[in-house]
Amino acid sequence: MSLLYKSGTALLRRLPAERAHVTTVKLLRAGLGPKTGEITSDILKTTVGGLNLPNPVGLAAGFDKDCDVPDAMLNAGFGFVECGTVTPRPQIGNPQPRLFRLVEDEAVINRMGFNNRGLDHFSERLRARKGNAGIVGANLGANKDSDDRPADYVAGLSRLWGHADYFTINISSPNTPGLRQLQGADEMEDLLGRIAETRAALTGNEPSVPIFLKVAPDVDSGQIGRIVEQARTYGMNAIIVSNTTLDRPESLQSAHHGEGGGLSGQPLFEKSTRVLSEFADAADGSIDLIGVGGIGSGAQAYAKIRAGAKAVQLYSALVYHGPQLVAQICADLEARAKADGFKTIGQAVGADLT
């Protein structure tokens, strides 16, 4: 089976990047995805932001923008799946080509621009899987032409409330002009204040589902403490660190290295892990963290955990290693935790922090 998926991954890489992605989703919808099933053990079970996970390896947003194949990806062994980014109204995104493989660097550059079918379709897809096992989250964004972007996040939260297992407020994409300005102090105060008010109204006397905040790796180090404090003040349950970067390391070898958009994959690992450590230092255990950026092996997933992440997410590495990577990472995480004398993966969280 591993050889089959390796062959399929190689064939898909012969297609233009976006066409390969669309084809992959179609194949998954047709039931041709992996059948690994849930991966779990006493060591791998963990909790992040109030979610009880069978294992700490999640699928990052961007792969399943329209919530078309969450159960197929759960069957690949992911401990949780994040769908989106979804905006209130459908939008086509930026002009093509807008997705580029940097094969020599095991990286991807994208400037997709939140292309998606909107909340109506996304809501229908979530409703269709009601009763299915597995944790599925909704990554919320704002329309490019919105006059009131915080209102777009409120609309997404309100429309999907009761159907997603958690929500992520994505203010970190570099491909919607001005979106990252919402990471500013005053802008974040307004946004998170409105989210908190909406959450209180929707929750009533019932327990709330978790809400996470997703930030950019390009955030100024001097702002990290303030972001942590605002996230805590307004009841965010975790911070996802991080999205793609606008940086272009000198080490990049691919001819596509100069394309505009966000860079993900291996070249992002070092920077995103450093920023994760800075968030962990600032948080000092007061809010959970999820580590994202450049994870392509069990060693890298474990490094994120030891840097302060209670769970991790990946996406770009699937382009180069296929869906069998999830099981490989989980097995490696379990082996590394045992070797270090940890009875649970949670005991390894922040082990490298000074």
Which string of DSSP letters, residue by residue, matches 132-145? -SS-EEEEE---TT
Number of folded domains that form the chain: 1
Q: What is the C-alpha to C-alpha distance for residues 10 and 3, in angstroms, rounded to an integer?
A: 11
Report the C-alpha gap between 224 and 230 in whole angstroms: 10
The predicted structure's pLDDT at residue 8: 67
CA distances, 58 to each of 66, 91, 220 (Å):
17, 26, 26
CA distances from 323 to 75, 104, 106, 167 (A): 10, 20, 16, 24
The residues annotated with a catalytic role in the active site are: 173
| Distance (Å, whole) CA 339 – CA 320 | 28
pTM, entire model: 0.97
Q: Could you list the mean pLDDT of each consecutive 10-residue stretch along the chain, which spans 354 residues?
A: 60 92 97 96 98 99 98 98 98 98 98 98 97 98 98 98 98 97 98 98 95 98 98 98 98 98 98 98 98 98 99 98 97 98 98 92
Q: Is residue 353 part of a domain?
A: no
For residue 13, the model assigns a pLDDT of 83
Query: CATH code at 66?
Result: 3.20.20.70
Residue 354 lies in a domain: no
Classify residue 271: in a domain, yes or no.
Answer: yes
69 part of a folded domain: yes
- Report phi then psi at 335, rounded to 5: -65, -40
Is there a contact between 288 and 333 (Cβ–Cβ < 8 Å)? no
Distance CA 86, CA 60 (A): 13
Phi/psi-derived region of residue 310, left when phi > 0, alpha when psi is between -120 and 50, beta in every other case: alpha
Give the Cα separation of 145 and 123 in Å (integer).
22
Residue 327 is assigned to a structural domain of this protein: yes
Q: Give the integer Cα–Cα distance in Å for 190 and 230.
A: 11
Task: Report the distance separating Cα 169 and Cα 151, nearest Å.
Answer: 12
Q: Could you tell me the end-to-end alpha-carbon distance of the chain, in angstroms, rounded to an integer?
A: 43
> 3-class DSSP state for residue 311?
strand
Of the candidates 304, 311, 276, 266, which has an alpha carbon nearest to the alpha carbon of residue 290?
311
Judged by phi (left if over 0) then psi (alpha if -120 to 50, else beta), residue 116 lies in beta
Asked if 112 and 93 count as a contact pair (C-beta separation under 8 A), the reply is: yes
DSSP string, 271-307: HHHHHHHHHHHHHTTSSEEEEESS--SHHHHHHHHHT
Q: What is the pLDDT of residue 1?
A: 47
Residues whose CB falls within 8 Å of the CB of residue 320, separated by 6 or more in sequence, listed in order: 9, 13, 103, 106, 265, 296
- Residue ranges of alpha helices (H) inside 13-76 are 17-29, 70-74
| Joined tokens for residue 166 | 């958690």
Residue 334 resides in a domain: yes
Tokens (6 digits) for 205: 């006397």
* Ramachandran angles phi, psi of 258, nearest 5°: -90, 0
Domain that holds residue 340: 2-348
Tell me whether strands 166-170 and 211-215 are parallel, antiparallel or unpaired.
parallel
- DSSP-derived secondary structure for 203-238: HTTSPPPPEEEEE-TT--GGGHHHHHHHHHHTT--E
